């Protein structure tokens, strides 16, 4: 029987790729007086639910979805957490 | 003595706010044959390091930074994980 899984996906720029948005935020924080903040990197955070027969199938499918649509593998890395959704299907956040 | 902390910040749209980007991704997945994916919400994921005298001070400062710069409290929620950075200051991802 298909089970519903909840996924949290984190897409980050590869460390070798410049992050102009992160630099802009860091500069903004400096102007606001936060001198003690460094190494800001901005990525994407995606939440979704999917139905799959097993956790393994869900993970394989998520890998394909990330590679094909959510992340650009040339400049971005991704990782995700997967858990079985409760029956209510409610969003956890 | 100041300690270095590593923060992972998740900024998400409030549940009542429409997410056109998430809807576009969901429509794209459907066209690609992924019919079993639903409830896609896209947010921001921010990594940074900061120096502070204690974890409590770091958390207070992060709350201010999120409220003032990283999140729009009218339409977005945020949460963050904080941990002491290892001496090497390396990024964990």
Domains of chain B: 3-84 (3.30.1280.10)
Is pLDDT of B68 > 90?
Answer: yes
Note the pLDDT tens digit of each residue in A33-85.
999 999 999 999 999 999 999 999 999 999 999 999 999 999 999 999 999 98
Task: Indicate the length of chain A as a whole number.
Answer: 93
The Cα–Cα gap between A17 and B19 comes to 28
Is pLDDT of A93 > 90?
Answer: no
Please say whether the beta carbons of A83 and A91 come within 8 A.
no
User: Is residue B11 less than 8 Å (CB to CB) from chain A?
Assistant: yes
Is pLDDT of B87 > 70?
Answer: no
| Percent of chain A whose pLDDT exceeds 70 | 92
CB within 8 Å: B50 and A44: no
* Contacts B44 to A, Cβ<8 Å: 42-45
User: Is residue B75 less than 8 Å (CB to CB) from chain A?
Assistant: no
User: Is residue A41 less than 8 Å (CB to CB) from chain B?
Assistant: yes
Report the mean per-residue pLDDT for chain B. Answer: 92
Mutate: best of A45, A49, A54, A68, partner B, most B CBs <10 A: A45
Which residue did the predictor score with more confidence, A39 or B86?
Answer: A39
Please say whether the beta carbons of B91 and B47 come within 8 A.
yes
- In terms of C-beta distances under 8 Å and separation of at least 24 residues, what long-range contacts does A15-20 make, across chains too? A15/B91, A15/B93, A17/A75, A17/A76
* Contacts A41 to B, Cβ<8 Å: 46-48, 91
User: Is residue A14 less than 8 Å (CB to CB) from chain B?
Assistant: no
User: What tokens appear for A35 in the block?
Assistant: 């001198």
Tell me the count of A-B CB pairs closer than 8 A. 108
Name the one residue in this structure whose structure tokens are 């896609």: B40
């Amino acid at each position: 029987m298909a089970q519903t899984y909840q996924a949290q996906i984190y897409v980050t720029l590869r460390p070798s790729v410049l992050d102009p948005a992160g630099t802009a935020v860091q500069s903004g924080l400096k102007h606001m007086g936060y001198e003690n903040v460094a190494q800001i990197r901005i990525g994407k955070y995606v939440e979704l639910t999917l139905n799959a027969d097993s956790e393994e199938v869900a993970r394989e499918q998520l890998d394909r979805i990330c590679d094909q649509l959510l992340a650009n593998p040339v400049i971005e890395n991704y990782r995700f957490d997967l858990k079985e959704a409760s029956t209510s299907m409610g969003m956890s956040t």
